[in-house]
Chain A
């Protein structure tokens, strides 16, 4: 069965420092991987995705993520954090072999950036 793990409930970083939000996955086929961000009382907003190709994916707001097949990971990164990046981040996966197109989401990681 497909699954996504976000091992950290919360990540705290200082503004200007690099940030990493971790994600690991489990699928039977090749994965399609996504990161979403959720601000309070808002829906999920798409950040970036990996379908195929280059393992380093660049997305919105300066975020990037690296697909590592051997470690089954897709960690979200940003070189320099902003206070406005503080939000709830979700990693999601879809198995290329599954019939539908719905995503399996992790439980989320709260990112807190201090000034």
Chain B
């Protein structure tokens, strides 16, 4: 099966500019996650969707970050305006269900990520 697709792979922007990332999950995966991975740290959840509804966005900086998954398939994550501290890799993951099994057989699959550099 095709994996989780993310684009672009790399993006360099100036602070205060806006940027958008795109994610296409594995076909049929109802749950979609956006994680932020800052250099030297583990991934941190930004937002979780179940179909086109938000399950958890408690760690999303809503004053500048927004995300949507309008048709329950693709998702976009936007930052406006960007700050220097937003430099990170943004990872998208999807899973078939909300079962506790996590990855493997119907669980989490991660995309390769988008590396954002804010200068």
Contact = CB atoms under 8 A, between A and B. Distances in A.
B111 interface: yes
B100 A101 contact: yes
B40 interface: yes
B56 interface: yes
A94 interface: yes
Contacts of B112: 41-43
A63 B47 CA distance: 30
16 contacts: A4-B42, A32-B102, A34-B102, A41-B112, A43-B4, A43-B110, A43-B113, A44-B110, A46-B103, A90-B43, A101-B48, A101-B98, A101-B100, A103-B108, A105-B42, A107-B40
A4 B99 CA distance: 21
B77 to A, nearest CB: 15
B48 A46 contact: no
A49 B100 CA distance: 10
Interface of A: 4, 32, 34, 36, 41-46, 49, 51, 90, 92, 94, 96, 99-108
Among A44, A90, A103, chain B packs the most CB atoms within 10 A around the CB of A44
Contacts of A32: 100-102
A94 B100 CA distance: 8
B61 interface: no
A46 B108 contact: yes
A107 B40 CA distance: 7
Contact of B45 (A42, A102, A107): A102
B33 interface: yes
B91 to A, nearest CB: 6
Interface string B72-103: 00000000000000000001010100111111
B42 A102 contact: no
Looking at B42, B100, B104, which has the most chain A CB atoms within 10 Å of its CB? B42
Given A46-B108, A99-B56, 5 more contacts: A42-B112, A43-B4, A43-B93, A49-B103, A102-B33
Complex A-B, nearest 10 residue pairs according to Cβ-Cβ distance, in ascending order: A105-B42, A46-B103, A43-B110, A100-B56, A102-B45, A44-B110, A43-B112, A101-B98, A100-B55, A105-B43
